[in-house]
Amino acid sequence: MSSFLLDYLPVIFLFGIATVLSLLFLAVPAIIAPKSPDPEKVSTYECGFNAFDDSRMKFDVRFYLVAILFIIFDIEVAFLFPYAVSIGEVGIYGWIVVMIFILELVWGLAYAWKMGALDWE
């Protein structure tokens, strides 16, 4: 076997282990889990509204608004991780830029709060 293919041997082993574990995690619960769900167990939870049979049914837009706000602020906060890793190398200019970015985040959150986007009632 060439040295090029030997370099990829750990990747192949890792892929094999991941495949076996994935299949195991799918098969074991299917085999040992109880098969008699009660009505409480299969009832609606976490989504905020009962299941319906019409996919075009109107429901409150606040679900979308909260989800969009979460995604926006979650992604923006994820941009702070590279700064946290390189905090010693960016200097005063990097600190000023990140403080402006955090100020924009706070400003956007205050605006969303003032407009009532975070109110559930």
- Between CA 91 and CA 51 the distance in angstroms is 53
Q: Domains (ranges, CATH) in the chain?
A: 56-121 (1.20.58.1610)
- Between CA 50 and CA 60 the distance in angstroms is 12
pTM of model > 0.85: no
Task: Give the residue among 106, 82, 104, 105 at the shortest CA–CA distance from 94.
Answer: 82
pLDDT in tens, the chain (121 residues): 688 888 889 999 999 999 999 999 999 998 998 777 777 666 666 565 665 666 676 767 777 888 888 888 888 888 888 888 888 888 888 889 889 989 998 998 899 889 888 777 6
pLDDT at 13: 95
DSSP string, 3-44: HHHHHTHHHHHHHHHHHHHHHHHHHHHHHHS-S---TTTTS-
pLDDT at 121: 67
Tokens matching residue 84? 């946290």
